[in-house]
Amino acid sequence: MTSSDCPVCRSGNSRILFRMGAEEAGKQLVPAHPERAHLISAQIRALWESDRCAFYKCRDCGYGFARPYTAGNGEIYSTLYYESFSYTEDKWEHRFALELIQSLLLNETATLLEAGAGNGSFLERVASTLLPPGQIYSTELSDPGAKEIRRKGYHCLNKRLPELPAEKLPRFDVVCMFQVLEHMDDLDPVFQSLFQLGKPSSHLIIAVPNGYLRTFYDRVGVHLDLPPVHVGRFSRKTFEVLGKKHGWKIEGVYTESQSYAFKLKKFLSDRYVRVPLMRRTDQSSSKLVRYFFRYSCLLILAVRFLPVLFFLLLPGTGSSMMVHYRKKNPPV
Ligand SMILES: [Zn+2]
């Protein structure tokens, strides 16, 4: 396998979307803290064993992937989230997945697993509407997150999916993963575990950032998938190939529905935090300076990113996407 071969379908037919140096990746990951950015850059360089990384897109299955294809380690995540990390409570993927699971009309003994459960906010929603806490399981790698989930009364294992002791766990009717898969560099072992953990005809619900939107942003020079934090990017085609390879049939693919104004505001705010001049003027004691620079910068950004203003009018340009799989039996 050469360095540009696709980790999902093994095709060598890929193109480079962008290149990024360790210094730049650090700056973009923690834009407001230059000292921590410097530290994280050094950690990234050590992880890559190089100063540079490239992000490719496979022309055959649409998977986007970083080379080096190496997920961030504990050291990098600790620097990134050195203070307690707050998870947004009301997420589209949680609301949408809950409605989807409700529509499945599971029986009362059904079991659910969420991989990478954060602080357990989705589990709480499941427990309040669908299943008793004893039938709800989770994994979470961060110690504070796992502790919080256990405190709330749910099973939580501090392990990666391929390391789960499958023989000690029940088989699941539903497995969910929200904004986790894009961080992983071991998709084959992960999907093999998911297959093992699922009951016959079980459901697998996965939410990731919308690959279609992010590929467009790359074209205008805005790179939101920052390796080594995000090492993968998905499209419908990628999920089809992954499902076929690991025994899952797609039941539906959905994109987050957001208003045009919200999408635009989100794009500008993603850019806004990365403009150093705006951060400096934001701290100015003069109200006039603060407002003048803030709105002039927003105007400049709007003109600079004119294609984005049109692109966001298109359907399917929400921030996240979700795939609903059903297990095929037997696997093919
Ligand atoms: Zn591929």
Each residue's pLDDT tens digit in the chain (332 positions)? 567 899 999 999 999 999 999 999 999 998 888 999 999 999 999 999 999 999 999 999 999 999 999 999 888 888 887 655 555 568 999 999 999 999 998 999 999 999 999 999 999 999 999 999 999 999 998 888 899 999 999 999 999 999 998 888 999 999 999 999 999 999 999 999 999 999 999 999 999 999 999 999 999 889 999 999 999 999 999 999 999 999 999 999 999 999 998 898 888 877 765 555 555 555 666 777 777 777 777 777 777 788 888 899 999 999 999 999 999 966 55
Question: Ligand 1: distance of its center to the CA of 70 in Å?
Answer: 17
| Amino acid, single-letter form, for residue 262 | F
Residue-level pLDDT at 278 = 53
CA 79 – CA 82 distance, rounded (Å): 5
Q: Where are the beta strands (DSSP E) in 180-263?
A: 198-209, 232-233, 248-255
Q: Is residue 284 part of a domain?
A: yes
Question: Residue 37 corresponds to which amino acid?
Answer: A
Q: Which pLDDT does position 252 carry in this prediction? A: 98
Residue numbers of the domain that contains 280: 260-311
Task: Measure 133 CA to ligand 1 centroid, in angstroms.
Answer: 39
pLDDT value at residue 303? 78
- Give 55 Cα–ligand 1 centroid separation in angstroms: 13
N-term to C-term CA, the chain: 24
Residue 272, domain member (yes or no): yes
Transcribe 44-110 into DSSP letters.
HHHHHTSSEEEEEEETTT--EEEES-----HHHHHHHT-SPPPPPSS-HHHHHHHHHHHHT---TT-
Residue 265 lies in a domain: yes
Report which residue type is found at 78. S
Ligand 1 center to residue 110 CA distance, Å? Answer: 35
Phi-psi region of 160 (alpha: psi -120 to 50; beta: other; left: phi over 0): beta
CA distance 322 to 210: 8
Q: Is residue 306 part of a domain?
A: yes
Which residues make beta-bridge pairs with 321? Answer: 208, 255
Q: Which of 144, 128, 145, 127 is nearest to 136 (CA)?
A: 127
pLDDT at position 175: 98
Residue 127 domain flag: no
Determine the pLDDT at residue 305: 82
Whether 301 maps to a domain, the answer reads yes
CA–centroid distance, 87 to ligand 1, in Å, is 32
pLDDT value at position 52?
96
How would you classify the pairing of strands 155-157 and 136-139? parallel
Q: What is the CA(1)–ligand 1 centre distance, in A? A: 13
Q: How far is the CA of 57 from the centre of ligand 1 (A)?
A: 8
5 belongs to a structural domain = no
Burial class of residue 277 (count of CB atoms within 10 Å of its CB; 0-12, 13-18, 19+): exposed
Quote the tokens at residue 297. Answer: 């910068």
Residue linked to tokens 């904004």? 179
From ligand 1's centre to the CA of 71, what distance in Å? 18
Tell me the CA–centroid distance for residue 27 and ligand 1, in Å: 30
- Residue 62 Cα to ligand 1 midpoint, Å, equals 6
- The kind and range of the H/E element at 267 are helix 260-272
Query: How many independent structural domains does the chain possess?
Result: 1
Residue 237 CA to chain centroid, in angstroms?
17
